[in-house]
Structure formats: C-alpha cells, structure tokens
A and B are shown apart, each in its own frame.
Chain A
C-alpha cells in the first residue's frame, strides 16, 4: 500500500514539470510590468513579511519613552529604506541594516540559505527597476553590480555550508532555486536591454549576471548528480527522466519560437501552418528533432544540434544505468537551450563585451609579462576565464 502511494506521489510529481519556458515567463513579466507602470495606483496594500523591527517594538514596549522614541526613529528610517534603490540615500540602510537584521534573526542554515537567495534575487529586481525606469547609469551600475556580486557570493557560501553539513537535498534545492531566479531575472534584464536607452550599462550588468548564472548552474549540476547518486533506483530514474523531459521541452520550445518568428517575418503560410501544428501537436522525439532542425536558421542550428546531441548522449547513459552522468547531460542540454532563448536579443552586445574584455585582458597580460612574469600568469588565467565564459554562453 505504501509502495502504491509512493508510486502515485511520484506520478503526480511528474505533473509539476509543466512550466512556462523562461522566455514565456520573461515576456509575460514584461507585459505585466508595463501594465503596472500604466496603472500605478495610489493606495496599495500587499501583505508582505513583517519587518524584523516589529519584534523589537514588542520587546521595548514597556521601557522608557526615550528608548521608544529612538527605536521609532530608527524604525521609521528602516521602514522608509525598504523600497530604496542603489544610488539612493537610504539604500545602505536597506542593505546594511534591514537585511542584516533579517539575516541575524534567521537561525537555521536552511532558512539562511533561502534568505540569501532571496536577497540576491532582490538585488536583481532592483537592477530591473533601475533599468526599466532609465535610472541605470555608470555609477548606479557599478553599485548595483557590486551589491549583486556580494549577495551572490553569500548565497553560494550558504549553499556550500549546507553541502558541507551533509544536507545535499536542501543544498541542491536551494542551488536550483538560485539558478532559476537568476534565469528569470536575467531574462527580464535582457528584455529591458533591447529597448533601454542605457543599453550598454544594462548589457554590462547582464554580462556579470550571466557569469554568475554559469557558476550557479555548475554548482546545481554537481549537487544534482550527488542527489541522483544518493537516491534509490526508482527515485533516481524519476529525477533523470524529469531532467530529460525538461531538456526536450526547451528544445521544442526554441524550435517553435524560431518557427513563429520565421512565419511572422516571411508571412509564409506554409511555415505559419507548421508553427501552428507545432503548438498543438504531441511531440515525440523524432518530431522534436525534425522541428528543431527545420526551424533552425544557420546560427541556431549549431545550438539545436548541440542540445540534441547532449540529450542523445544522456539517453545512452540512462540506458546503461549511468544515471548521474545522464542527469548531467540533460541539465547541460537545458542550460544550453535556456541560454539560447535568454540571450537572443542582446547576444551581440554580450559578444562585443566579451571580446572587448578579452582584448583588455590580453593587453594587460602582455604588459604584465614584460613587467613581471608572475603577475602575467594571473592575468592570462583571467583572460582564459573570459574566453571560457564566451564559450559557455554559446557565442
């Protein structure tokens, strides 16, 4: 009976994999943001997490009026700082006080890791607001980028702590959450970059976020592999099949987007019909392959083929019972397919940035070699990292 229930729960969990693609989610988010900007409203009340300072108020309620007054002033400043953005006077209060207090009041490693991920996502939400309201300039960009990198480092550290304590399942879950949040926000930032007047500043941020997203993805895959290794056979198969399904869905979605774009551009009735068919048809693997190939233009063909190849290799490993390695293949295929969608609009900007940074790094390396061989080694390594990033983002 218990086995039956486990089987049912496993089957039901497969339904949880029906999700919006990152591209769909980003587009809908952009529409919602535009709608909200057009309907700002006057008196808005959304229930949110109560300020940690509310606990302080309770604690000091019976102490002297002077103490209460001091707390009231601090609380008011803290309260006012909650919606502040990089570059604004109260922003240091928000990040250096409010969030620190919140972190101090969060005791368990699991809750601390989740909070750190939320704070990293909050940094990206701030960047989105700055970019979409035209407030992102070189100064705010530098501040926002620095804050994001700090919060990302903190979140990564928390994940590593969970891993070191042996809580692999939680570490994997938090790591995936971090990757997913970075994915969503990067999509939104890339979307804003396409129309932003400060496109260069936004693209710079996107470049930085992408590099962290790559790190997060590597960590997620490693933790996921460990999770698969620790799971019993049935659960391992279920996890790997879910990863495989998601990879194939992304491949199909990318092909479909490409087909729709082609249909719109060429007004070709045949292609439009194909795109419509793709939207409604069940898509077994051969169709997916065909659609991916048929829909690809020359630059996308390489990406679709690479994704397909990773999926095929994953299937072979799965058939041999090499579940952890199969999982790695499917997750890499997912990452590649997601990147293809995420960065479509600003891929050119990122490539230029990567080229520019690579040239700067190479120049520094050459100079460093002449001046000091050891320093030159460090710069050369940095240069190769940038090259690695370039390859990893599929450009």
Chain B
C-alpha cells in the first residue's frame, strides 16, 4: 500500500486547484478560498488519521469544503452570498485570478451565477470541475437522477441566458 501521507499529498496535488476553483466561485474571495481549502485538507487528514475510513477521498473533500463554506457564512450571519449578490455587491471578486478581467471568464461566471442555486452548483461541478453525476450526487447528498435533472435544466437555462445576452 502507498504511504498514506504520500497518497494524501498526491491527492492534494490533484485536487487542490479544482477545490480552490470551486471555493473561489462560491465565496468570491481568493484569500478566503485559500484558507478554506487549506482547512479542508487538514480536517480531512485529521479524520483519516483518527482511523476513519474514507471510500472516496475526492467526494469527501468536496463535502468537507461545502461544510466549511456553509460554516463560514453561518459565522457571518448578517452577510449571505446570495443577499450580497442580489444587492449587486461584487467588490471582492478577484479578477486577477480569472485573468486580466478575462472577458470570457467573467461572462461565463456571470451567466452561471444567474442560475438558480441547485442548478448553479450542479452545472459548475459538472462542466467546470468536471465531476461525474455520481460524484456530484455523493457530494450534495442528492440522488443521481436529481443531479442529472439539475444539470440538464441548468444547461437549458444557461443557453437561454446566453442567447438573451448575444441577441
């Protein structure tokens, strides 16, 4: 068996960018996303080191990260991402991470952010982080069929938004 520490570091090498990308998308703050991702890896290691078995490390990491993001917003009760965005607040968006105010990156981000929440996460995880329906289902705790519907509807809605914008 591979040395557990090395196996976990390998897992970090493979997943850190995708988790960071997902977290940045959710919290709109690069520095905060780095902290949350770092915490996620530490907590996951702590869990594994305590002797608990993890069947799918990737799904477990996403779940832990999701909880960390929710905890963060719970701690900041007065501020919710949705409420901030509804008010048009986007000051902490770190455009340098999505590159020189990349027109494509920004437009795609805006389009996906306009999707209703369940569709938004499903589309993002499926097409940006390239997770399988099964993995998304495991992470979100939803049935695989439900996720398939969310992705399908999200994509349909995204297409409508895209067409509205390009007309």
Query: Chain A: residues with CB nearer than 8 A to chain B?
Result: 4-5, 7-20, 24-25, 28-29, 31-33, 35-37, 39-48, 79, 82-83, 121, 125-126, 128-129, 181, 184, 238, 241, 244-246, 248-249, 252-253, 256, 278-285, 288
Contact = CB atoms under 8 A, between A and B. Distances in A.
B5 interface: yes
B10 to A, nearest CB: 7
A26 to B, nearest CB: 10
Interface in B16-68: 16-17, 20-21, 24-25, 30-31, 34, 37-38, 41-42, 45-46, 48-57
A245 B38 contact: no
A17 B25 CA distance: 12
Contacts of B17: 19-20, 25
A278 B99 CA distance: 13
Contact of A18 (B3, B46, B98): B98
B79 interface: no
B105 A25 contact: no
B107 interface: yes
A91 B12 CA distance: 24
Q: Which residue among A9, A13, A41 has the maximum number of chain B CB atoms within 10 Å of its CB?
A: A41
B143 interface: no
Contact of B20 (A19, A37, A46, A285): A19
B31 A12 contact: no
Given A41-B51, A44-B51, 8 more contacts: A17-B105, A29-B13, A33-B5, A33-B9, A44-B4, A45-B51, A82-B3, A83-B2
Interface stretch (B69-77, B108-116, B132-140, B144-152): B108-116
Contacts of B122: none
B51 A20 contact: no
Given A11-B111, A28-B16, A129 B3 contact: yes
A151 to B, nearest CB: 15
Contact of A24 (B3, B34, B45, B101): B34
Given A46-B54, A283-B96, A284-B100, A15 B159 contact: no
Majority SS at the chain A contact face? helix
B162 A8 contact: yes
A232 B43 CA distance: 45
A174 to B, nearest CB: 15
Contact of A36 (B45, B101, B127): B45
Interface residues of B, number: 67
Contact of A253 (B10, B52, B96, B107): B96
Contacts of A5: 155, 159
Nearest to A252: B96
Contacts of B37: 28
Contacts of B2: 46, 48, 82-83
Nearest to B17: A19
Contact of B45 (A29, A32, A278): A32
A37 B8 CA distance: 12
A28 B41 CA distance: 10
A282 B96 contact: yes
A280 B2 CA distance: 41
A48 B3 CA distance: 10
A186 B159 CA distance: 42
A41 B105 CA distance: 42
A285 B103 CA distance: 13
Given A44-B49, A46-B8, A47-B54, A32 B109 contact: no
Report the 6 A-B pairs with minimum CB-CB distance, sorted nearest first.
A41-B49, A245-B99, A83-B3, A282-B95, A11-B108, A43-B51
Contact of B158 (A8, A42, A284): A8
A12 B102 contact: no
Nearest to B35: A28
A9 B127 contact: yes
13 contacts: A32-B41, A39-B46, A46-B7, A46-B8, A46-B48, A47-B56, A48-B7, A82-B1, A82-B2, A128-B9, A129-B3, A280-B94, A281-B95
B97 A249 contact: yes
Contacts of A29: 9, 12-13, 16
B81 interface: no
B16 A20 contact: yes
Given A28-B37, A40-B49, A241-B104, A15 B94 contact: no
